[in-house]
Amino acid sequence: MCGAVRDARAFLPYTSRMPNDASPTLSYTPNDNATATLAGSWQVRALAEGNTMQTITAALQPICKEADVRWDLSQVTALDYIGAQLLWDAWGKKRPAQLTLAPQHENFFHRLEETGTLALIRPPKKYWYAPTSLRQLKDKLLDHLTGFVSLIGQLVIDLGRFAKEPARGPWKEISANIFHAGYQALGITALVGFLIGVVLSYLSAQQLHQFGGDIFLVNILGMSVIRELGPLLAAILVAGRSGSSITAQLGVMRVNEELDAMLVMGLQHGYRLIMPKVIALAIAMPLLVVWTDAMALIGGMVAAHLELGLSYKYFIRELPDAVPLANYWIGLGKGVVFGGLIALVACHFGLRIEPNTESLGEGTTISVVSAITIVILADAVFAIIFSGVGF
């Protein structure tokens, strides 16, 4: 309420009035007994008319800067929490020393005083190494492990049922998932595989040429691509592309309550949703591995011809002798295992999504990261088990 204008230590009286009698008014008389008098309606409806709120706020600021101002609110006809909060903020969130109020308005400022004394309790900081955090992490890991094992068990039961009654199996779902996860992934896997082959061939050719071992480029490309890079690269691409799609699909079905509707109709999630996706990826992944291997070898062959001058005929003729047949079977076996693991992980996190959009995004992200991690771990297990095979 600091609407007074200071000029040579003199104060001019200030009055802010609205068009009608119900509007809030503010009068300030600067003298030895400076008094700010408020009258009219100080409710939100009156303050919201025109520029009343801005005018009153601008008038309050200079008055509040003066010391020992007497505030007279006895003539205020109506007051609500909006008007009281406006004055309370102008007073610096404390009651003035000299304040006259109507009895019916005392409760507004009393509650504002009580609210101002409240302090928010900050939650204690949580560290990952704290006993409580470690216990929660252990419980979460056990929960995921139990759920994943249960999912595998249900898959085995569904596969047994499918083997007994193949005519009544979800063939359309399997075919659709093969199309989405396999056929539609041919483009991206071919492009990435070709580029990886080019990069690997160029880097290897530069090193081999220094020692005169140009002819061994076929051996390096064949073993690395067919045995390791092809299956792993295809699995990572499928985990990021198809794995996230599966998780998001199941999550949207959870949000839309379609999963609950399936249970009401007597349709099991495992037989109609999980098993078709696992079978489809187990079938599509080996084919994608062969496709990725071929594209990577073509890219390496082109780079070898440009960098070292190796002919295409020589590359194709030497490739079967450079790579034993066992490596092809190991690569195909990796494709089957990787495909099944990606589908299981994607379905596991998709079924655990809660019916809200935040959980959907978080679950999809965790699904992709977990699928890629499990694929790399499985590849390490393959490397240890078959360390003496195919060389």
Structure tokens at 223: 């073993």
Distances (CA, A) of 387 to 221, 321, 377: 18, 19, 15
What does the pLDDT read at residue 123?
63
What does the pLDDT read at residue 208?
77
Averaged pLDDT of the chain: 83
Higher-pLDDT residue of 206 and 238 is 238
Query: How would you list the strands of the sheet with 14-16, edge to edge?
Result: 14-16, 25-29, 35-42, 70-79, 98-100
- With tokens 């998932």, the residue in question is 177
Overall average pLDDT of the 256-267 stretch: 84
Confidence class of residue 133 from pLDDT cuts 50, 70 and 90?
Answer: low
| Residue 368, φ and ψ in degrees, nearest 5 | -65, -45
The C-alpha atoms of residue 128 and residue 269 are separated, in whole angstroms, by 35
Overall average pLDDT of the 299-303 stretch: 90
pLDDT tens-digit map of 168-179: 888 999 999 999
What does the pLDDT read at residue 233?
93
| Domains of the chain by start residue, with CATH | 6-116 (3.30.750.24), 132-385 (no CATH)
Tell whether the model's pLDDT for residue 6 goes beyond 70: no
**DSSP bridge partners of 15:** 27
Tell whether the model's pLDDT for residue 140 goes beyond 60: yes
What does the pLDDT read at residue 2?
41
pLDDT tens-digit map of 52-107: 888 888 888 888 877 788 888 888 888 888 888 888 888 888 888 888 888 888 88
Tell whether the model's pLDDT for residue 243 goes beyond 70: yes
What does the pLDDT read at residue 54?
85
Q: Which pairing describes strands 98-100 and 70-79: parallel, antiparallel, or unpaired? A: parallel
| Residue 49, φ and ψ in degrees, nearest 5 | -75, 125
| Residue 21, φ and ψ in degrees, nearest 5 | -70, -25
Tell whether the model's pLDDT for residue 305 goes beyond 70: yes
What does the pLDDT read at residue 127?
62
The answer to whether 202 touches 211, Cβ cutoff 8 Å, is no
Neighbours of 297 (CB within 10 A): 24
| Helix/strand/coil (H/E/C) assignment for every residue in the chain | CCCCCEECCEECCEEECCCCCCCCEEEEECCCCCEEEEEEEECHHHHCCCCHHHHHHHHHHHHHCCCCCEEEEEEEEEECHHHHHHHHHHCCCCCCCEEECCHHHHHHHHHHHHHHCCCCCCCCCCCCCCHHHHHHHHHHHHHHHHHHHHHHHHHHHHHHHHHHCHHHCCHHHHHHHHHHHCHHHHHHHHHHHHHHHHHHHHHHHHHHHHCCCHHHHHHHHHHHHHHHHHHHHHHHHHHHHHHHHHHHHHHHHHHCCHHHHHHHCCCCHHHHHHHHHHHHHHHHHHHHHHHHHHHHHHHHHHHHHHHCCCCHHHHHHHHHHHCCHHHHHHHHHHHHHHHHHHHHHHHHHHHCCCCCHHHHHHHHHHHHHHHHHHHHHHHHHHHHHCCCCCC
**DSSP bridge partners of 374:** none
Overall average pLDDT of the 365-372 stretch: 93
Confidence class of residue 18 from pLDDT cuts 50, 70 and 90?
Answer: very low
The C-alpha atoms of residue 215 and residue 72 are separated, in whole angstroms, by 100
Tell whether the model's pLDDT for residue 8 goes beyond 80: no
The C-alpha atoms of residue 218 and residue 180 are separated, in whole angstroms, by 34
Residues in the chain: 391
Tell whether the model's pLDDT for residue 138 goes beyond 90: no
38: left (phi over 0), alpha (psi -120 to 50) or beta: beta
CA dihedral of residues 57, 62, 63, 64 (deg, nearest 10): 80
Neighbours of 316 (CB within 10 A): 12
pLDDT tens-digit map of 314-347: 888 888 888 888 889 999 999 999 999 999 999 9
What residue type is 280 in one-letter code? A
Tell whether the model's pLDDT for residue 16 goes beyond 70: no
Tell whether the model's pLDDT for residue 191 goes beyond 90: yes
The answer to whether 112 touches 85, Cβ cutoff 8 Å, is yes
What does the pLDDT read at residue 5?
35
What does the pLDDT read at residue 334?
94
Tell whether the model's pLDDT for residue 164 goes beyond 50: yes
The C-alpha atoms of residue 351 and residue 53 are separated, in whole angstroms, by 53
Higher-pLDDT residue of 12 and 97 is 97
